[in-house]
Structure 1
Amino acid sequence: MNARLETLRPSCSEAEWQTRVDLAAAYRLVALFHWDDLVFTHISARVPGEDGAFLINPYGMLFEEITASSLVKVDHEGNKLSDSPYPVNPAGFTIHSAVHAVRHEVGCVLHTHTLNGIAVSAQAEGLLPLSQQSIFVLGSLGYHDYEGVALRDDEKPRLVRDLGENSFLMLRNHGLLTVGKTIADAFQAMYLFETTCAIQVRAQAGGGSLVHVAPEIIATARQQAAQVTRGMGSQLIWPGLLRRLDRQMPGYGT
């Protein structure tokens, strides 16, 4: 389907429209960084001021094509709450709905099937403390064993148990998942997660002995992150990422 979509801006609150723009930007950035998997995987975001309403990608659109107006509003079951010519993949929302239902502070859930992420998720030892990037992930990381394609509701309790209060979840034999209070937070977390996995795969490919970061350094990662970003967190990098999109992949905010 290649439907022409009218802008939804006149019918949205300012808060919803800004969320739509940021979420569309996140989808485009995932494509720009080559983390996408054709039309599969999802990024979901809560609709501000609307309890139980979320935005997700129209199923069948490439991530590089997604715009603010093309995002589909759904409920906790993945059912459409607004008119859209595009379908939604309810099975793809299983993971997201599980997280949103119990982590009410989470505004965005981001899930990928990258080669590096899946490669590390298949390793028995999981993520190793091999890089500066890894220390920011390891302090807030959970693991969830593979149970097949995420289609069954009975998997949800185990998934949210394994995520706990963490920001990062490694889905064994499957991929990576991050959560954040904002879309920018979830994206920055995924950048760290994916980069950490890529470094690990390359370090292991070298064939030599590997040096691990000391646990006491990992324990101070949160304080170090706050210091290096001057307390701004993801807001330090998000405006620059949007400028990059404006140059290389414009049109997401329509």
Structure 2
Amino acid sequence: MELDTMPSLKGRVSEEEWQLRVDLAAAYRLIAHYGWDDTIFTHLSVRIPGPEAHFLINPFGLFFEEITASSLVKINRDGEKVDEDSGMVNPAGFTIHSAIHEAREDAHCVMHTHTTAGVAVSAHAEGLLPISQQSLFPLSSIAYHDYEGIAVREDEKARLVSDLGPANYMILRNHGLLTCAPTVADTFLAMFILQRACEIQVSALAGNPPLTPVPQGIVDKIVSEGDMVTGNQGGLLVWPGLLRKLDRSDSSYRQ
């Protein structure tokens, strides 16, 4: 895929779809900015509103730092490209994302990463530990899915969805992290918090010291207290600043 020859889709798709394209492209750039990418692997996706059940996902072969709003691939629920002149899609990415989008009406956006800290915690027998404030938000809504190999088999989708249930955070054992939410902003903020919690856990466990867990009573009330701080706005408070961060260095994701 040649980015310099790719025509802009602005004005050729609905305003709603274009905004989703800009937000998802920004999320890909932010994943690269924070060093959470894995060359061309892992995926972020978002559902386009409407009866067609179309989704946007990355073209397989582009680095996350190269992705633009117009380069995102539109696919249907069967993983087929809606626009034939767009890039190819990683089948493993579609298996994971399509399963969650289809099962969870609220999961408009799904993000999946293979970060060093995330994979490290996914290998910990006890999973994510309640040892930091950051860990408490994921722990309020977390699920685990055992590793079954590269996610290309159709039959794994039912088990993945069953394990996820109503949770918004998932640790894929021996694999990585996953978050889902109604918006790109909320899904990215969830991934930021989960990733930071994993980084803290890996650092805290270095040298195998004794740890001080957060009491369960505090774990149980942390989410309501967090909503009070943000006024229930969640990612909406953070997202504009993240876009400004990107725009200061490279606004080409908007193309």
Query: In which range does the TM-score fall when normalised by the shorter chain?
Result: over 0.9
* Partner Cα distance (2:168, 2:179) in 1: 6
Alignment check: 8 A CA contact 1:58 1:70 kept: yes
1:173-210 CA-to-partner distances (Å, cap 9, x unmatched) read 00000001000011000001100000000000043210
* Partner Cα distance (1:105, 1:231) in 2: 17
Alignment check: 8 A CA contact 1:58 1:71 kept: yes
* Partner Cα distance (2:123, 2:116) in 1: 11
1:134 aligns with 2:135: yes
Shift of 1:214: 0.8
**What's 2:182 paired with?**
181
* Partner Cα distance (1:90, 1:172) in 2: 20
* Partner Cα distance (2:119, 2:254) in 1: 31
1:158 aligns with 2:155: no
Give TM-score scaled by structure 1 length: 0.97
Aligned residue pairs total 254
* Partner Cα distance (2:142, 2:91) in 1: 26
**What's 2:91 paired with?**
90
Alignment check: 8 A CA contact 1:77 1:90 kept: no
- Where structure 2 has 5 or more consecutive residues not aligned to the other structure, the ranges are none
Q: State the one-letter code of the partner of 1:165.
A: P
Aligned counterparts, 1:1-254, within 5 A? 1-3=1-3, 4-254=5-255
* Partner Cα distance (1:153, 1:249) in 2: 38
* Partner Cα distance (1:234, 1:68) in 2: 20
Q: Give the SS at the match of 1:178.
A: strand
Q: State the one-letter code of the partner of 1:204.
A: L
* Partner Cα distance (1:225, 1:84) in 2: 44
* Partner Cα distance (1:66, 1:226) in 2: 32
Q: Structure 1 stretch 157-166 or stretch 204-213: which is displaced more?
A: 204-213
Q: How many percent identity over aligned positions?
A: 55
Shift of 1:51: 3.0
**RMSD between superposed Cα atoms in Å:** 1.0
Shift of 1:85: 4.2
* Partner Cα distance (2:85, 2:235) in 1: 31
* Partner Cα distance (1:83, 1:68) in 2: 17
1:2-43 CA-to-partner distances (Å, cap 9, x unmatched) read 352100012111100000000000000000011000000100
* Partner Cα distance (1:23, 1:224) in 2: 29
Alignment check: 8 A CA contact 2:169 2:178 kept: yes
**Runs of at least 4 residues off by over 3 Å:** none
Shift of 1:90: 2.2
Q: State the one-letter code of the partner of 1:68.
A: A
Q: State the one-letter code of the partner of 1:47.
A: I
Alignment check: 8 A CA contact 1:78 1:89 kept: no
Instruction: Pick closer, same or farther for the CA change 1:90–1:207 going to 2, 3 Å.
Output: closer
Give TM-score scaled by structure 2 length: 0.97
Shift of 1:171: 0.2
* Partner Cα distance (2:83, 2:42) in 1: 21
- Where structure 1 has 5 or more consecutive residues not aligned to the other structure, the ranges are none
Alignment check: 8 A CA contact 1:170 1:176 kept: yes
* Partner Cα distance (2:86, 2:163) in 1: 36
Q: State the one-letter code of the partner of 2:125.
A: A
